[in-house]
Amino acid sequence: MSHLFYLSTAKRPVLDRAEGIYMWDRDGRRFIDGSSGAMVSNIGHSNPAVLAAMRAQMEKSTFGYRLHFETEPGEALAAKVAALCPAGLDKVFFVSGGSEAVESAMKLARQYAVVRGQASRWKVISRFPSYHGSTLGALSVTGYDPLTDPFKPMMVAMPKIPAPRAYLDGLDMDDPATGAHYAAMLEAQILAEGPETVLAFIHEPVGGASTGALVPPVGYMQAVREICDKYGVLLIHDEVMSGGGRVGTFLGGDLWGVVPDIVAISKGFGAGYVPLGAMVAPSWMVDAVQAAGGFLHGHTYAGNPLACAAGLAVLEEIGRCDLMGNAARVGAVLKARLKALMQRYGFIGDVRGEGLLLAFELVADRETMAPLPAAMKAFDTLVELAYAEQLIIYARRTRGGYAGDHFLVCPPMITTEAQVDEIMEKLTR
């Protein structure tokens, strides 16, 4: 009997070792990590420079409580993150994961509103579908029935607007009217709630698990920024999955030149080497909160020197090997190959994404975009078939499919074109 317990009851191989984009199980079978875990292992496994940086830091110190010590890796990593973020986002608050980063963003926004005399603002509007984390605050802005239904009525409930899924609504992604149409839903929601009660809007620039690499229509990102400004609503970008370089730029928002008020990052930041995340905010907000007594929030392991040393080495590797450039180039090749597959099979309804954050959607019929009938058990068939091919892909159910309507294909940013061939051969079979 195993003493481990997880959400999934599916039997999985026992991991032995991993290197680059490959992972071996205890029986010596080699898998391709076609989703970088959950879009985490961005620079591949067992990177020698990261392991060396971790070993060197371990010889010096592994933990110093953040209220007792500053650390050199922490200082260096914060400076590096601030340099990679758009101008103005210059204060870095470390955490150990994505949910913690989102919680921190929501709580900083709230505390900022309180210190500037706007305590009536507490609602955080988000989108449906969406995924922002599993802790209560992050779950309250998550729009994903399988994970929220068991907890309803939500202990904290927040308003939702539809995500801009133009591909399902039969709207043209490249028509500015489409972006304006979805952004108008945010404005309507703010007005319905009463702007004086709305604290923030949170969304993912490029969608992740819940929407399958959803790319917003033309004009949407800018319009959302303008609406937030108009009503004094803070804009939070959840870049836990889209941040870190996978989309070809450090942040997804950079693709549109849109700067949020607060950004949450994690996943590819620690890149599978350490649990690491961060909330990045502007000085004007952080200083106001600090002046009023400090940010009343924090997590024990946050910013420990080992995590920071690893995170710094990850970012240095991304720069040294131009992995963002590689993600953009190889991502374009992989996306074109997925689109070619879509031409061959009517049950692939859409291929979307940016860089190496890519997904395809299975439908009953591409003409109508009707969802997969639940009975099709697409998850079982496709993910299990991929396992049999020793390829790992990431599936999520958001429509009719038994457990998988869209499938993320997001190999590490080090993936070569030859490895794209390897992935596509298995996927096509």
Question: Where along the sequence are the contacts to ligand PMP (CB under 6 A)?
Answer: 38, 97-99, 102, 131-134, 204, 208-209, 238, 240-241, 266
- CA torsion 34-39-45-47 (nearest 10°) is 130
**Smallest gap, in angstroms, from Cβ of residue 298 to ligand PMP?**
16
- Matching residue, tokens 């029935």: 145
Looking at residue 149, its amino acid is: D
Which of residues 98 and 219 has its CB atom nearest to ligand PMP in the complex?
A: 98
Which of residues 97 and 355 has its CB atom nearest to ligand PMP in the complex?
A: 97
Distance CA 150, CA 159 (A): 18
For residue 288, give Cα distances in angstroms to 87, 108, 238, 284, 293: 19, 11, 23, 6, 9
Distance CA 392, CA 408 (A): 10
Which of residues 101 and 424 has its CB atom nearest to ligand PMP in the complex?
A: 101
**Smallest gap, in angstroms, from Cβ of residue 405 to ligand PMP?**
17
Answer whether 409's CB lies under 8 Å from 427's CB: yes
Which of residues 134 and 148 has its CB atom nearest to ligand PMP in the complex?
A: 134
**Smallest gap, in angstroms, from Cβ of residue 397 to ligand PMP?**
15
The residue with its CB nearest to ligand PMP is: 98
Which of residues 103 and 350 has its CB atom nearest to ligand PMP in the complex?
A: 103
**Smallest gap, in angstroms, from Cβ of residue 126 to ligand PMP?**
11
**Smallest gap, in angstroms, from Cβ of residue 116 to ligand PMP?**
27
**Smallest gap, in angstroms, from Cβ of residue 197 to ligand PMP?**
24
Which of residues 212 and 364 has its CB atom nearest to ligand PMP in the complex?
A: 212
As to burial, measured by CB atoms within 10 angstroms (0-12 exposed, 13-18 middle, 19+ buried), residue 61 is: middle
Distance CA 144, CA 25 (A): 32
Which of residues 187 and 303 has its CB atom nearest to ligand PMP in the complex?
A: 303
Which of residues 279 and 330 has its CB atom nearest to ligand PMP in the complex?
A: 279
| Host H or E run for residue 104 | helix 98-115
**Smallest gap, in angstroms, from Cβ of residue 102 to ligand PMP?**
5
Answer whether 128's CB lies under 8 Å from 163's CB: yes
Distance CA 318, CA 338 (A): 25
Q: What are phi and psi of 357, to 5 degrees?
A: -110, 90
The Cβ of residue 202 has, within 10 Å, a number of other Cβ atoms equal to 27
**Smallest gap, in angstroms, from Cβ of residue 120 to ligand PMP?**
27
Tokens coding 149: 């239904």
Which of residues 130 and 419 has its CB atom nearest to ligand PMP in the complex?
A: 130
Tokens coding 207: 């969608």
DSSP 147: H
Distance CA 411, CA 108 (A): 33
**Smallest gap, in angstroms, from Cβ of residue 106 to ligand PMP?**
12
Residue 63 makes CB contacts below 8 A (sequence gap 6+) with 301, 304, 305, 306
Could you tell me how far CA 67 lies from the centroid of its own chain? 29
